[in-house]
Chains A and B, each alone.
Chain A
Amino acid sequence: MKKLQKLAALLMVGCLLALSMAGCGTSQTAVSNTESAQSAANGAPAASAPAGKEITITFWHTYGDSEEAQFLNAVMPLWEAAHPDIKVEAVRQDSGQYHEMIVTSFGTGMSPDVARVDIANIASYANQGGLVALSDYADFAEIAADYMEGPLSTNLYQGKYYGLPLDTNCKAAVINLQVMQELGLSAAPATMEEFISAARDRGSYSLNVSGVGDWDMYPYFWLFGGVLTDDAFTQASGYLDSAASVAAIRKLLELHEQKIFTVRDVDGSVDAWDGINSEYAMFFEGPWYFGSYEDKEAEGIIAATIPTYEGRSASVVGGEDIAVFATSKHADAAYEFAKFMTSAEVQLAMLQSGQLPILKSLVNSKEVQANPVWSVYMAQMESAKARIPSPNSSVIQDIWSEAITNIFVSGADVETELHNAAQLIDAQLK
């Protein structure tokens, strides 16, 4: 019996090995897919598909209810009129697991042709070879001329652009006028200096930030004079640990000690969206805060540009880009669609549902200026900077968060922490 058992066991192992060999076959199909896609992308950008042949491309997006309605009702008819031979199958995905869906689609070969992608992910997808370098197309320089610099820079990876900016946003100041009045300020403060001196004697927190991550902390860091890296994003040492950066963090610590500035995740204080109604005078948030609450102004809550410090304001760039996937069989058609989505007509249409445009020519348009919220945010874009575009952006964020947590929670020395963080980030930027 023992011999038979051994035999049976060997047979089973053999079957498993055979199955895993079969696995090799499937991975080879994925490889051949990529090869054909890359050759298509590198070829001369042709006009749309050969005449008479209708092709379908899939477009993944994460638009919410109102944006999707606007997209389907106002934007798609424009496309269908202009390109009747290229059908676009729009698929709505939940934003919650979107990044995981895209990564999984890389593995299963089911990536879309074109998709709305969070700006933070472009570099890492490009690093994996998943996106097409759109700057290779002949007309890229021409269309890129009208793109705002901050949003455009989020598509940069190793000297090429792997997407087009689609919509943008940044953080601006959300101000509760009534609480401001309690501090002795009759309107939104123009400078941080005046805000700080007004809030100093209050005794309870007036300014709230949610966490220690890059999206939350960078506006403050930049506002008070901090610098992350050189302009080409190649090195953090000498910038993140410079005297100016150390001073910026020290200023934040000072405001924290003076009970002016609170970090929700450090102090366990009330969340901003909740506390702005009663106890906080100001916090920084994107335009969606106002899109959600209709009657904010009636409650005395308005948008304003972030008060300047030492004469300059600062903010962080958010938003989405539109990218073409390397495995697409119709990369040219997908590129056409991407360009379409960044055209002035479409940008204005999507503005109606709160998607701020990325075109320089639209910054001062009457539609933008007429809206009290949009005009503030578009004005803020001038002083908004993008986060470090890198495939390792999540690791960099972890390094930053760990340093800030150590400084605020454990009282670690600012210079040492920033110096260590700079060196760790250097390694990530190589």
Chain B
Amino acid sequence: MQRETLSVRKSPLEKGARQWLGALPFVLPGLILVSVFILYPMVFTLRISLSEYRIVQGEINFIGLENFKAVLTGGSRFWYALRNNALYALVTVPFIIFGGMFFAYLINNLKRGQGIFRVGFYLPVITSWVIVSLVFQYMFNNSNRGLINYLLVDVLHWMDDYVPWLLREWSGNAAIWLMGIWKNMGWAMLIFLAGLQGIPHDLYEAAELDGAGLWKKFTSITVPALRPVTYYVMVNMIIGSFNVFIQVMMLTGGGPNGRTATLQYLLYDKAFNQFAFGEASAIGLISAVTIVVLTAVLNKRLNLDTENEEASA
């Protein structure tokens, strides 16, 4: 009896160690890189958010939650930025997911010429954000020099006055959202296309025999089967929504008066223009926590992450 209990007590530890040894060659290289170049900087940022950072001297003086207080109560810029990130997510993510899924499905059903459209829709994704921002800056130029204004007023005569797109709060935000959708839809489309490959053909064949058309097949087979992929796209797009930066810097500069700024832009402004690294890090942390909460809530509500369900079952 005693021998049995002894061996029972030993084996979980032994088992765990053996499992780790088995997994090591797979997991270790990544783990080392992540620890050194990602986790350590993250801890560094966490430390800075709780301190006053004198950058030249490298001094880090602990001041507790002062930075967080300053960010959350120091005026409205933070709240405008948070609002803009939330709106960005709310507006762009549905368009990107549905648009991506829709176009992927259409392309997948093409008998010929899939390649052209795949490349065409993906081109925006592979162009750098800076260049795209420059182009959009010109297209949305405030006077009649901008392509959009020129079309709307001088060519199509849909409007009387030129819209100062990038100078006003809502048109500026709209330009930023449009650019986000334009640039990311191709990426989502590609992911969904890859996901569509995993749906067995027999499911579609069976549905066709039952007389289902393209749309019915889409809603009853494709959409449900793409759940885990949708989850992946959604998480990435939400993370992206809270990391919006280059468009804001180049299109509107956060103006007018911070009404189109985003959290990341505010972070950059505080760090590089005001040398307030503690507050900048605090913004970064608040941003991260918001994303975590958002994705967790969405996960529960929409029940998309089927694989994690299986794991916990």
In the complex, A touching B, CB below 8 Å? Answer: yes
Q: Taking beta carbons and an 8 Å cutoff, which residues of A are in contact with B?
A: 1, 3-4, 8, 15-17, 19-20, 22-23, 26-31, 34, 99-100, 103, 106-107, 109, 124, 127-130, 264-271, 274, 326-327, 391-392, 394-395, 398, 401-402, 405, 409
Taking a contact as CB atoms under 8 Å apart, the answer to whether A106 and B55 are in contact is yes
- Contact residues in A for B59 (Cβ distance below 8 Å): 27, 31
Taking a contact as CB atoms under 8 Å apart, the answer to whether A128 and B275 are in contact is yes
Taking a contact as CB atoms under 8 Å apart, the answer to whether B35 and A405 are in contact is no
Asked if B220 lies at the interface with its beta carbon under 8 angstroms from chain A, I say no
Taking a contact as CB atoms under 8 Å apart, the answer to whether A19 and B40 are in contact is yes
Taking a contact as CB atoms under 8 Å apart, the answer to whether A106 and B256 are in contact is no
- Contact residues in A for B39 (Cβ distance below 8 Å): 16, 19
- Give the 8 A-B residue pairs with the shortest CB-CB distance, closest first: A30-B58, A268-B164, A268-B142, A27-B58, A394-B273, A4-B16, A20-B43, A106-B55
Q: Which of B6-62 contact A (CB under 8 A)?
A: 12-13, 16, 35-36, 39-40, 43-44, 47, 54-60
Q: Which of B219-268 contact A (CB under 8 A)?
A: 255-257
Taking a contact as CB atoms under 8 Å apart, the answer to whether A409 and B273 are in contact is no
CB distance from A282 to the nearest CB of B (A): 18
Given known contacts A31-B57, A106-B56, A270-B144, is B162 in contact with A3 (CB within 8 Å)? Answer: no
Given pairs A103-B275, A124-B275, A394-B273, 15 additional interface contacts (CB within 8 A): A8-B16, A16-B43, A19-B43, A27-B60, A30-B57, A34-B56, A128-B55, A129-B56, A130-B55, A130-B56, A266-B167, A268-B164, A269-B143, A398-B257, A409-B256
- Contact residues in B for A106 (Cβ distance below 8 Å): 55-56
Identify 28 residue pairs between A and B in the complex whose beta-carbon atoms are under 8 Å apart, listed by A's number. A4-B16, A16-B43, A19-B40, A23-B44, A27-B59, A30-B56, A30-B57, A31-B58, A34-B56, A103-B55, A106-B55, A106-B56, A107-B55, A107-B58, A109-B58, A128-B55, A128-B275, A129-B57, A130-B55, A265-B142, A266-B167, A268-B143, A270-B143, A274-B145, A394-B269, A394-B273, A401-B255, A401-B257
Asked if B272 lies at the interface with its beta carbon under 8 angstroms from chain A, I say yes
Among B13, B144, B274, point to the contact of A395 (Cβ < 8 A). Answer: B274
Given known contacts A34-B56, A128-B56, is B167 in contact with A19 (CB within 8 Å)? Answer: no
Taking a contact as CB atoms under 8 Å apart, the answer to whether B257 and A402 are in contact is yes
Taking a contact as CB atoms under 8 Å apart, the answer to whether B274 and A394 are in contact is yes
Asked if B82 lies at the interface with its beta carbon under 8 angstroms from chain A, I say no
- Contact residues in B for A402 (Cβ distance below 8 Å): 257
In the complex the two chains form, what is the Cα distance from A29 to B58 in whole Å? 8
In the complex the two chains form, what is the Cα distance from A398 to B16 in whole Å? 58
Asked if B163 lies at the interface with its beta carbon under 8 angstroms from chain A, I say yes
CB distance from A368 to the nearest CB of B (A): 35
When C-beta atoms are compared, the residue in chain A nearest to B257 turns out to be A402
The majority secondary structure among interface residues of chain A is helix
When C-beta atoms are compared, the residue in chain B nearest to A38 turns out to be B57
CB distance from B131 to the nearest CB of A (A): 13
Taking a contact as CB atoms under 8 Å apart, the answer to whether B167 and A100 are in contact is no
In the complex the two chains form, what is the Cα distance from A20 to B47 in whole Å? 9
Given known contacts A3-B12, A394-B273, is B54 in contact with A128 (CB within 8 Å)? Answer: yes
When C-beta atoms are compared, the residue in chain B nearest to A37 turns out to be B56
- Contact residues in A for B143 (Cβ distance below 8 Å): 264, 268-271
When C-beta atoms are compared, the residue in chain B nearest to A4 turns out to be B16
Taking a contact as CB atoms under 8 Å apart, the answer to whether B274 and A327 are in contact is no
CB distance from B20 to the nearest CB of A (A): 8
Taking a contact as CB atoms under 8 Å apart, the answer to whether A28 and B273 are in contact is no
Taking a contact as CB atoms under 8 Å apart, the answer to whether B44 and A20 are in contact is yes
CB distance from B134 to the nearest CB of A (A): 12
- Contact residues in B for A3 (Cβ distance below 8 Å): 12
- Contact residues in A for B35 (Cβ distance below 8 Å): 15-16, 19
In the complex the two chains form, what is the Cα distance from A1 to B273 in whole Å? 50
Taking a contact as CB atoms under 8 Å apart, the answer to whether B162 and A268 are in contact is yes
CB distance from B77 to the nearest CB of A (A): 9
In the complex the two chains form, what is the Cα distance from A402 to B77 in whole Å? 12
In the complex the two chains form, what is the Cα distance from A4 to B12 in whole Å? 8
Taking a contact as CB atoms under 8 Å apart, the answer to whether A271 and B145 are in contact is yes
Taking a contact as CB atoms under 8 Å apart, the answer to whether A1 and B12 are in contact is yes
CB distance from A373 to the nearest CB of B (A): 27
When C-beta atoms are compared, the residue in chain B nearest to A3 turns out to be B12
When C-beta atoms are compared, the residue in chain B nearest to A129 turns out to be B56
In the complex the two chains form, what is the Cα distance from A266 to B56 in whole Å? 39
- Contact residues in A for B12 (Cβ distance below 8 Å): 1, 3-4
- Contact residues in A for B162 (Cβ distance below 8 Å): 268
- Contact residues in A for B58 (Cβ distance below 8 Å): 26-31, 34, 107, 109
When C-beta atoms are compared, the residue in chain A nearest to B149 turns out to be A268
- Contact residues in A for B47 (Cβ distance below 8 Å): 20, 23
CB distance from A118 to the nearest CB of B (A): 13
In the complex the two chains form, what is the Cα distance from A304 to B56 in whole Å? 43
- Contact residues in B for A268 (Cβ distance below 8 Å): 142-143, 162-164, 167
In the complex the two chains form, what is the Cα distance from A34 to B57 in whole Å? 6
